[in-house]
């Protein structure tokens, strides 16, 4: 009986598939690094839905830890997508997350969704979406290649990051990973 002998290419493809998400999560797009040098990763992880990967996420700050928002110090969330989403799907997901968190009033949320719609486009597997929140000022968005645009409302950025960082976040396991915290056997 002939035994299966995987080729070197097959072995490398399997290793890359297992390592690549972690490698993506632990890097920032070049345009973000150029605009915000010296950032250090706080933590990262993967969002999965019904067993399938959605994106790899990581959180970055100048000190490599997050204890809240400090005026002028960037807080960066980067998402490396493993599934395609249209602009409308992304906007709807953000709107539903804010609604669930009861974040701000409906009029403000609608205004922010409208502003995001001017900045974002859809994503494909391997694409990136990065938010650079400058507390007290603005939020800048980048993709895997370039700067996309900004939202000037200083309240927007923290509200946007709350989708992942608020204690009531629906992505609580990812939240713990982003914040670089370990879960013990008794819970959060």
Query: In the chain, what are the domain boundaries?
Result: 51-178
Contact 77, 177 (CB under 8 A): no
State the Cα–Cα distance between residues 7 and 12, nearest whole angstrom. Answer: 9
pLDDT (tens digit per residue) in 86-128: 999 999 999 999 999 998 899 999 999 999 999 999 999 999 9
**Is it true that domain 51-178 has CATH number 3.40.50.300?**
no
Beta-ladder partners of 85:
123
Q: What residue has token string 């973000």?
A: 32
Q: What is the pLDDT of residue 182?
A: 63
Q: Which helix (H) or strand (E) holds 141?
A: strand 139-143
Q: What is the pLDDT of residue 157?
A: 97
- Other Cβ atoms within 10 Å of 10 Cβ, number: 11
pTM score of the predicted model: 0.83
Q: What is the pLDDT of residue 181?
A: 86
State the Cα–Cα distance between residues 170 and 121, nearest whole angstrom. Answer: 24
- Contacts for 142 with CB less than 8 Å, ≥ 6 apart: 29, 31, 32, 128, 129, 130, 132, 148
Q: What is the mean pLDDT of each run of 10 residues along the chain (188 residues)?
A: 45 36 68 96 95 96 94 95 97 96 92 97 97 97 96 97 95 95 52
- Contacts for 181 with CB less than 8 Å, ≥ 6 apart: 43
């Amino acid at each position: 009986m002939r035994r299966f002998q995987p080729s070197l290419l097959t072995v490398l493809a399997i290793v890359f598939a297992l390592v690549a998400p972690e490698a993506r999560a632990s890097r920032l797009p070049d345009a973000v690094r150029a605009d915000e040098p010296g950032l250090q990763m706080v933590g990262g992880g993967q969002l999965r839905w019904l067993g399938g990967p959605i994106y790899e996420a990581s959180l970055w700050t100048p000190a490599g830890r997050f204890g809240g928002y400090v005026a002028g110090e960037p807080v960066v969330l980067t998402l490396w997508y493993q599934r395609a989403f249209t602009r409308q799907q992304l906007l709807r997901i953000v709107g539903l997350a804010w609604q669930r968190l009861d974040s701000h009033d409906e009029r403000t949320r609608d205004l922010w969704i409208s502003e995001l719609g001017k900045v974002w486009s859809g994503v494909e597997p391997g694409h990136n979406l990065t938010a650079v929140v400058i507390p007290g000022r603005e939020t800048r968005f980048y993709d895997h290649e370039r700067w996309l645009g900004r939202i000037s409302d200083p309240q927007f950025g923290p509200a946007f990051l709350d989708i992942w960082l608020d204690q009531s976040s629906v992505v609580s396991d990812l939240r713990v990973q982003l914040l670089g915290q370990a879960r013990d056997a008794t819970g959060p």
